[in-house]
Amino acid sequence: MIDKELEMYYGAIKELCNSTGYKILCQDYTEQALSINSIELTKDEADLNFRKGQLNVINHFLSLEQQITALEEQLEDGDSNAENL
């Protein structure tokens, strides 16, 4: 059984992911990722690393719902390392 506090956390994230605002933000981030991922606009190595960081954060945000689902499944299977996002 999942710890109550963790269960509440997962529930709150799922509720967030089902909101209209979250879905709109995901659309905006998806569109931004396309322009950030363009090498045409990259000036130098520092800019490339900055863009990689931006894409990392965007991808983490966009995959939040899938991460929560995977963590819940791991916890149900008894994996104690599944408590961390």
**For the residues 53-78, what does the mean pLDDT come to?**
90
Global pTM value: 0.74
Each residue's pLDDT tens digit, 6-54: 889 888 999 999 999 999 999 999 999 999 998 888 999 999 999 999 9
Q: What backbone torsions phi and psi does residue 58 show, to the nearest 5 degrees?
A: -60, -45
Find the radius of gyration of the CA atoms of the chain. Answer: 16
Q: What backbone torsions phi and psi does residue 17 show, to the nearest 5 degrees?
A: -65, -25
pLDDT over threshold 70, residue 85: no
Burial of 5 (C-beta count, 10 Å sphere; 0-12/13-18/19+): exposed
Residue 74's pLDDT is: 86
Report CA 31 to chain centroid distance, whole Å.
15
pLDDT over threshold 50, residue 1: no
**For the residues 64-79, what does the mean pLDDT come to?**
85
